[in-house]
Structure 1
Amino acid sequence: MIVHLDGDFETVDYVENRSVLIYDNVDNEEYPVHWHNAIEIVMPLTNGYTMMCDGKTYDLHERDIMIVPAGTLHAMKAQSGRRLIMLFDNRSISSNPALYDLYSVLKSPVMIGEESDEELRISLGNLIKEIYTLYSNFDVLSEVYIYIKLLTLLARIKENQISAVKYDDEKYLEKFGSIIKYIEQNYMYNITLDDLARMA
């Protein structure tokens, strides 16, 4: 499946004028440690699948979902079974300021497994199936609808993350969000605890 590997960097081979690549993968093949500029979503359909991502091992069961952010080192062990592996060009999301808060979902790997909210897991699984159907029956608007569904998938994860944080005081949550945003925008500078305390 990896066609162009230079060291640990994979160049994703999209079809001309497209920015989505989906494999209905049944290869019993090991994929070495690599990274690419695509968002990768993996969902095993039959049998589990073991992935190493950002130095951590994830054991995916059937219908679990793993989202690997662009630029993240990851690898997959050789295993029998069937899984969907989806690659989405990262640029259309990462470079859009309107999607800044949504893009924060992709700051680190996301695993939606059996311990996750079952309604969320089913909802995301259905979106992935819809994306696969659009990709398989490709026409002039398919990629537009695929990206709409990808954004919907990320938005549902973000909503779930927000609802999991239960604060009684919404002003506290808003202030905390502004501090996180400040850290994300200024992480390369020497941020002190006193600076953040003054903001709060």
Structure 2
Amino acid sequence: MIHKLSGIYETVDFREDEQICLYYNDEYENYPPHWHSSFEVLMPIVNGYRVLCGGKEYHLREGDVLIIGPGMLHELFAPESGERIIFQPSLNHISTREINLLTMIINPATLITPEGYPQIYDRVKTLMLEIKDAYFSELPYQETLIISKFLEILACVGHWHVTVGQQKDTVTTSSRQKEYVEKFILITDYINNHFAEDLSLEGVAAQAGFSKYHFSRLFKQYTDSTFYKYLNQKRIEYAKTLLQDPGMTVTEVAFKSGFSSLSAFLRMFKLMNNCTPTEFREMYDPTKLGAWESAKN
């Protein structure tokens, strides 16, 4: 199978009329910084794997599972020998409010290990192996089966965060927990639709019916992010799509993405992507870097 990069944007080699792609990879080959609109899930089977994503370095051991969110710039480093599953599912065609919230919890990447996620690790590992077996099988409704298993992985991560929140907040009842999850699904949906506007912590908290202090605590508990971190993340994700238009200046991109100043945009873009908007645009430009292809097995 073929792995294609145009600059740093990866065209995922989905099978015809499908939104899933999986490689059982044993190549001693590194993959330079790139991004794509699908998720990427990595699980070493033999030996480890090293990944850079969101300014953080992840060292995967055999059986660890790393989920990388859509649109996240990442770089892969292979050992001299080893085998790993590289799974790329797209959920663009079934995007829902719950999936948007789960994506936010995962972004930029979530490493599932026995120590970090003891209650869900075994199930997630099993699901990844089942996804691999199903992908190379001739089962009917294969794509639906695989997507359902990936959705279960996302749900496991979401349930884990709710469980951790319940352990930290012994006062809140289970029914109130469910109410809060539903409310924060609506809140994040609102931010997704209005991120380019002049949103403030105080304003969104008031709209949700919370004080800004209570809202900040709950937002972190139920989304694993701060309000402004999530808001800026949505703005930068949108900016990346605008930067693909060579006719739009960086200043125009900054203001269309919701930033009040060019300097704030440049600082936040560099922080989240480890490159400037201009560097990102140049890396995306296929006339400057060309198309890069390598075989994956």
Report the TM range for the smaller structure's normalisation. Answer: 0.7 to 0.9
1:173 to 177, 180, 183: 180
Establish whether residue 14 from structure 1 lines up as the match of residue 9 from structure 2.
Answer: no
The size of the alignment, in residue pairs, is 196
Instruction: Please report the RMSD computed on the Cα atoms of aligned residues, expressed in angstroms.
Output: 2.2
CA contact 2:48–2:59 (8 Å) conserved in 1: yes
User: Residues 136 and 185 (structure 1 numbering): CA distance in 2 closer, same or farther, change over 3 Å?
Assistant: same
CA contact 2:9–2:35 (8 Å) conserved in 1: yes
Q: Please state which structure has a larger fraction of its residues in strand.
A: 1
SS of the counterpart of 1:124? helix
- Superposed displacement of residue 150, structure 1: 1.1
Corresponding position of 1:37: 37
Q: Please state which structure has a larger fraction of its residues in helix.
A: 2
Give the TM-score of the pair, scaled to structure 2: 0.60
Q: Provide, for residues 46-81 of structure 1, a one-character-per-residue CA deviation record: whole Å limited to 9, x for no partner.
A: 111110112211111111111111111001013121
Give the TM-score of the pair, scaled to structure 1: 0.87
Corresponding position of 2:147: 147
SS of the counterpart of 2:44? strand
CA contact 2:100–2:189 (8 Å) conserved in 1: no
Corresponding position of 1:124: 124
State the identity %: 30
Establish whether residue 27 from structure 1 lines up as the match of residue 35 from structure 2.
Answer: no
Amino acid at match of 2:94: I
Q: Provide, for residues 129-179 of structure 1, a one-character-per-residue CA deviation record: whole Å limited to 9, x for no partner.
A: 111111111344111111111111111111111111123232783697254
Amino acid at match of 2:195: Y
| Structure 1: 5+ residue stretches without partners | none
Corresponding position of 1:189: 197
Q: Provide, for residues 21-63 of structure 1, a one-character-per-residue CA deviation record: whole Å limited to 9, x for no partner.
A: 1111111101000011211110011111110112211111111
| Structure 2: 5+ residue stretches without partners | 211-297
Corresponding position of 1:72: 72
Counterpart CA distance in 2 for 1:160 and 1:188 is 31
SS of the counterpart of 1:165? helix
Corresponding position of 1:61: 61
